Amino acid sequence: MKTVNIGLCGLGTVGGGVYAVLKRNAALISARAGSNILVSHVGTRSINPRCVTASTKISRDVVQISEDPDIHIVVELIGGTSAAFDLIMSAIRNGKHVVTANKALIAERGPEIFVEAEKYEVIVAFEAAVAGGIPIIKALREGLVANDIHWMAGIINGTSNFILSEMSSKKRKFQEVLEEAKEKGYAEADPSFDVDGTDAAQKLAILASIAFSIPLNTKSIFKEGIAHLQPRDIEYASELGYVVKHLGIARQKPTGIQLRVHPALVPASCLLSSVDNVLNAIMVDCDALGSTLFYGRGAGSEPTASSVIADIVDISRFVTTSNVSGTRPLGVKFADIKNKKILPIEQIETCYYLRFSMHDTPGALSKATSIMAEIGISIEAIIQKEQPLGIDYVDVIVITNSIMELHLSLAVRKIEQLETVQGDATVIRLERLDQV
């Protein structure tokens, strides 16, 4: 049986998981790959000797791995977009296939990497870049290849999902849960990319590019985080039969493509509503299959290692047969990736949850509903909460039917200007996920 030599760059959380799973399931993986998968060279700044065998070469400079003539596949798990880019480009130019879990690098510099890989006839695989152990890249690019994909909506950041799950089930405040997430290792010391939507936007860019054959583009994605969400809005949503989730949404419409990351109310009956803690899930709707859900652990050492090793095995099959994979990184030839109109957030149409605080005086509510009627906003439900003891205003909750965001924003501005309304209104988009 031929040996496929792996250069493992990075022996942190994911790298350690890859090494451990390859060692534990060596016979099973080799049988499925048709070759002996061997980590023969490791690149890491700090090394625990117990993690590698005596025969494994160790380098402090990961570029040395990309130049090692015995290495067939370079696995990039060092993170970041600078040194990782240099490593991958060096590996490609030295004729090495590449596996990476680096969603930021693929989302931001994927086109450069893929063009270079095509030039040198090597494979760049990145299943672990989105949703950890969930094989969503392969599903979109291969399993659903016969389908016209209408839309995708997913919980693709475990940190945000953990925070919202805790806020919902235990009525806790955002900052309190965020600190717990840091303590448990679910959030980084600086959790900005997780809670402001950046991480989810990078992942959505990759999914949308494969699903709709559009260029990788994070700049056109609308993103909104979760730090502003109040426990009372999550509680009100629950009373109305909804759950608040932080979603990445990509949807094809006749007028263009929607790409957005933001909190959203989803019906409690929707499959995504029950995805809690740090789990991920992506719902895909397409013409032949209909709707399907991909669910599982979206991060962590061994779940992510599962996807990394799946890519290693795929590539090893081509290494041993001397054939370059016919699977394109983004599903189609670069010439078939076309720019399509990305709709600005003002032009999207969806339903909305609207809450504002109003003095409980005769005729006050009718003025607000008249503003919405004049703009053409259809109201599905309106609820006036009980007046708190000693407070002269009440919360009013409105659920709208589908309306263009531009019109909803106009109505909100006018409502906020009413003398009877106190403070700013709260707006959360509502996604039923049952329509194309």
pLDDT of 326 reads 65
Question: In the predicted model, is pLDDT for residue 408 greater than 80?
Answer: yes
Closest CA to 19 of 303, 311, 310, 302: 302
- As assigned by CATH, the class of the 345-430 domain is alpha beta
| Higher pLDDT among residues 195 and 49, named by residue | 195
- Establish whether 173 is a catalytic residue: no
Kindly calculate the radius of gyration of the chain based on its CA atoms and give it in whole angstroms.
24
Q: Which listed residue (96, 103, 138, 203) is catalytic?
A: 203
- 250 pLDDT band, cuts 50/70/90, is very high
Percentage of residues in the chain having pLDDT higher than 90 = 85
Q: pLDDT band for position 428 (50/70/90)?
A: very high
- pLDDT for the residue 320: 81
CATH of domain 139-297: 3.30.360.10
Percent above pLDDT 70 for the chain: 96
Q: Give residue 131's pLDDT.
A: 94
Per this entry, what is the length of the chain?
Answer: 436
In the predicted structure, residue 436 carries a pLDDT above the cut 50: no
Q: What is the pLDDT of residue 50?
A: 60
Q: Can you give the pLDDT at residue 403?
A: 97
Q: What is the mean pLDDT of residues 228-235?
A: 95
Which pLDDT score is estimated for 386?
82
293 Rama sector, left if φ>0, alpha if ψ -120 to 50, beta otherwise: beta
pTM of the full structure: 0.94
Two tokens at 399?
Answer: 């659920």
Average pLDDT, integer, range 109-130 = 96
pLDDT in tens, 96-111: 999 999 999 999 999 9
What's the whole-number mean pLDDT along residues 337-344? 95
Query: What does pLDDT average to over the chain?
Result: 93
Helices (H), 83-173: 83-93, 103-119, 136-138, 158-170
Q: What is the pLDDT of residue 325?
A: 61
In angstroms, the CA 338 to CA 195 distance is 31
Measured between alpha carbons, how far is 358 from 368 in angstroms, rounded to an integer? 10
Residue 378 has a pLDDT of 97
Confidence tier at 318 by pLDDT (50, 70, 90)? confident
Q: Where are the domains of the chain?
A: 3-132+301-336, 139-297, 345-430
Q: Return the CATH architecture of domain 3-132+301-336.
A: 3-Layer(aba) Sandwich (3.40)
- pLDDT category at 189 given cuts 50, 70, 90 is confident
